[in-house]
Each structure stands twice: as C-alpha cells, then as structure tokens.
Amino acid sequence: MARSDQKFKTSFNTWLDSVAVGNCPETISGLARLLGVSRTLARSILQRAREIGLISEDSFPITFLRSTRKSDYFPNSDIRSLEEQLETDFMMWLRTMQPPPGSRLREAVLARQFGVSNTTVREFLIGLSRFGFIRKEPQRSWILEGFTEKYALELHEVRQMFETRAIRAVFTIPKEDPFWGKMLRIRQEHIQLRREIETRFIEFSELDSRFHRMLNAATGNRFMDGFQDSISLIFHFHYRWSNKNQVERIVLAIQEHLEIIDAILERDQDAAVKALERHLATANQTFLASINRD
C-alpha cells in the first residue's frame, strides 16, 4: 500500500474516533490540525464521509446524517505500517506453526513467506535479537531461543514498570482526543471476539498486541512502543497453550482487558492500575508455565 493511501485511511479512522467522542472541528484548518494532515487530505476525508452517507455535504458546517458504525472504518489490515504488518504476520505464523526453541529460521524463506524483502526481514529479526528472543547465525539464518525462569521474571518486572507508567499517562489525555473513540472501538472488538472465540481464538494475539501498543503510545515514548512489539512476540511465542485450555485462557485474557478498558473509560485510575497489575500477573504465570513445560 502506498504511504499516502495508508496515511489517508489512518487519518479517516482517527477522525471517526474523534467524532465518536463529540470532537468535530468547525473548519477545514481545524480538522487538518486535529489529524496532523494537510487541508487537501482533510477535504478528502470529508469527501469519503459524504460518499458513505455519513454527512450530507463535504463542506462546513458539517451535517451528520447518522451515527458512525463499524463498517465506516477501514480494516486494521489496511492501515498497518510495513513493520506492524510483518510483526502481525510473524506472530500469526508462530501461533500457527508453533516452532520449538532451537528452530532455525532463514531470512530468504521468511521473506517469501511474508511477501517482503530480505532486508526488511533482517532488520525485523535484529530488533528481536536485542531481547534474546532470537540469535543470529552464519549464512543469514537465525535460531529461536528458549528462556529461563529468571529471564521471565526480569521481563515481567520491566513490562510492569513500563505499562503502569503508560496507563497513568492515559488519564492525562484530553477528553476530546480521538484516543477515547479508539478505546470504545477496541472494547467492541474484544466483546465481538469473545462472542466468536471458538472459531477466532487465533486472532487474539494480534488484538492483544494492538491493545497494549495503544496503551504504551499514551506516553509518547518511542522506545516503549518498540519494546511492546518484542514483548508481544515473546509472550505469544511461549504461550503455546494446549488445545485443552487455550480458549479458556484467551477468554480470561479478554475479560482482564475489558476490566482495564472499563476502568479507563470510567476515568478510575486506581481501578485501571489494579486491573492492569492483575492482567500482567496472569500473563506472567502463563509465561512461566510455558517455560517450565519446555
């Protein structure tokens, strides 16, 4: 997807999230500032809104013909960056193939698998290697590593520190920010996935990563965002839940996410922090159990 097309789709979704919380600028310049785009792109957003029957005219003042709905949004697969898409594809591959620690991966094979260049795959794997998830070998190959209980405890400690800070930062976000509309939307995604969990359970890893990335993004710290990418892959690689209880574990994780989300939406910071701590403790217990199985 062309960068300009991705920017348009991302901005359009952000505008819908803004509308969902009642924030609709009264001028084209105001809309452009809200979204951080040019006025030309802002006009294109209004034009699409008119084409899908959301507004009457693509000019100000805006008259809405109906409420926003799920089908108005571009799907997440349309707005991911190349790096985010590769992370998602790699995570889904891990969940499907479940390669054991010690497995050898080759850059060229992964590049063909995910439809990207060898260089893109190499840069992605180099990023993961910083956390000990994968080790570089000669001939452009890599080895998936196993982890110790000490590693898991250290990872949990850092994750708790980062995400607790992130969730406190959420409560400084202005009420008219598109973040709150996005939070409402991701809540509905959790509810829908829970309803269809028997057939869609494999999709949880992507939703989980997106949810935690959304929280970390509240800090505006690029290093925390990069940390979350690796954390998601490490945790979901090592979950490898048995068929006997994987659905139950995912349902529990969804419920814990919803408890965090509801506390955030109710502007209850103490409850949100406690819900996050419970969720991270559960995730760490599962991580430790998977390591002990290895």
Nearest Cα to Cα of residue 83 among 226, 216, 193, 187: 226
Tell me the mean pLDDT in the region 202-207.
86
The half-sphere exposure of 211 on its side-chain side, counting CA atoms within 13 A, is 24
Q: What is the CATH number of domain 3-69?
A: 1.10.10
Answer yes or no: is pLDDT of 4 > 70. no
- Here the tokens at position 53 are 């029957």
3-state helix, strand, coil in the chain (%, to 5): 70, 5, 25
Nearest Cα to Cα of residue 172 among 257, 269, 260: 269
**Contacts of residue 64, Cβ cutoff 8 Å, sequence gap at least 6:** 19, 54, 55, 56
Handedness of CA 196, 202, 204, 206 (dihedral sign): negative
Tell me the mean pLDDT in the region 18-30.
90
Q: Where are the domains of the chain?
A: 3-69, 102-145, 149-293
- Residues in a beta bridge with 106: 141
Tell me the mean pLDDT in the region 197-213.
89
Q: What is the DSSP string of 222-289?
A: HHHHHHHHHHHHHHHHHH---TTTHHHHHHHHHHHHHHHHHHHHTT-HHHHHHHHHHHHHHHHHHHHH
| 257 against 246, higher pLDDT | 257
| 183 against 284, higher pLDDT | 183
Task: Please answer whether residues 284 and 152 qualify as being in contact, where contact means their C-beta atoms are separated by less than 8 angstroms.
Answer: yes
pLDDT band of 293, cuts 50, 70, 90: low
Q: What is the CATH number of domain 102-145?
A: 1.10.10.10
- Residues in a beta bridge with 139: none
Average pLDDT, the chain: 87
Answer yes or no: is pLDDT of 2 > 60. no
Residue 68 one-letter amino acid: T
Tell me the mean pLDDT in the region 248-265.
96
Per-residue pLDDT tens digits for 40-79: 999 999 999 999 999 998 878 888 999 999 999 999 888 8
Q: Which CATH architecture has domain 149-293?
A: Up-down Bundle (1.20)
Residue 55 has what DSSP assignment?
B
Q: Specify the pLDDT at position 240.
A: 53
Handedness of CA 75, 213, 230, 223 (dihedral sign): positive
Long-range CB pairs of 32-39 (<8 Å, 24+ gap) are 34/178, 35/11, 36/11, 37/7, 37/11
- Listed in order, strand segments (DSSP E) in the chain are 104-106, 134-137, 141-144
Q: Specify the pLDDT at position 140.
A: 86
Answer yes or no: is pLDDT of 15 > 90. yes
Answer yes or no: is pLDDT of 1 > 60. no
Nearest Cα to Cα of residue 87 among 207, 287, 230, 203: 230
Q: Specify the pLDDT at position 165.
A: 93
Q: Specify the pLDDT at position 93.
A: 84
